[in-house]
Amino acid sequence: MIDEKEIMPLNFFAYGGKYSGEHAGMRYLIKREGEKPDFVLLANIWQGPYASCSLAKEKISSKEFEFSEEGRIELINWLKNQYETRKDEWDSAPSILNANPLKH
């Protein structure tokens, strides 16, 4: 399961860091968006094994969160919820060995 300790601390994102990960077929990317002082945390999720840059935007789900520790925790809880509620989608993700790079 996605653990809060696995996700980089807020300070990492404050300096423009991007964090990507994978959990059982669900890929995700977390990054800071916006201009100071209106930063937000943006989370993107999609079905693996593909990189997000190789997918149509319609296949990526996104949500913005407040740029704070509370927003970071809310983002992590959203990731957990998306995994649980869309488990069939993640479970059906092809292995990288069986993925067809032309059909995604």
| pLDDT < 70 stretches in the chain | 101-104
Residue 29: enclosing H or E segment and its boundaries?
strand 26-33
Type of residue found at 17: G
Domain range list for the chain: 4-91
- CA atoms of 35 and 31, how far apart (whole Å): 13
| Digit-coded pLDDT (tens) for 85-94 | 999 999 999 8
Q: What pLDDT shows up at residue 103?
A: 56
Residue 90 pLDDT: 96
pTM, 2 dp: 0.90
What pLDDT does residue 26 have?
97
Spatial distance between the Cα atoms of 27 and 31, rounded to a whole number of angstroms: 14
